[in-house]
Amino acid sequence: SDPTLDDAIYKATHEVDPVVRQKNYYIAEQRLADLVPQIGLNVWTDIYTPKKGLAMAGFNYVMSSSVGYTYNSELWYWEKK
């Protein structure tokens, strides 16, 4: 628990003035950047029509045409001809 972060989040979530909310979210974001060495961001998308030659380790293309979510992109590779 960090008092600066806690206070900024509290003010940002309990205030109706958008300027005050934005200011406190910015303070919270900056404080998180100071406290945490790395914050992993993960955006999931689902690919249903992969490019020809794109494969994923352990994936059975007979069962589905979906490559899957992008969180596992380390398993993808281009098939060699």
Query: For 6-36, how does the pLDDT look when each residue is reduced to its tens digit (9 = 90+)?
Result: 999 999 999 999 999 999 999 999 999 899 8
Above pLDDT 90, what percent of the chain? 40
The answer to whether residue 8 is domain-embedded is yes
The answer to whether residue 25 is domain-embedded is yes
- Tell me how far apart the 2 most distant CA atoms of the chain are, in Å: 60
Query: Which residue segment(s) compose the domain that 74 sits in?
Result: 46-78
The answer to whether residue 15 is domain-embedded is yes
The answer to whether residue 62 is domain-embedded is yes
The total number of structural domains in the chain stands at 2
Q: Do 29 and 53 belong to one domain?
A: no
**Extended strands (E) in 1-81:** 46-47, 54-56, 68-69, 76-78
Q: Are 78 and 58 in contact (CB under 8 A)?
A: no
The answer to whether residue 67 is domain-embedded is yes
Question: What pLDDT does residue 10 have?
Answer: 95
The answer to whether residue 23 is domain-embedded is yes
The answer to whether residue 54 is domain-embedded is yes
d(CA 22, CA 10): 12
Q: Which two tokens stand for residue 2?
A: 């960090």
| Mean of pLDDT over the chain | 78
Selected residue with higher pLDDT from 30 and 52? 30
Q: What is the pTM of this model?
A: 0.48
The answer to whether residue 21 is domain-embedded is yes
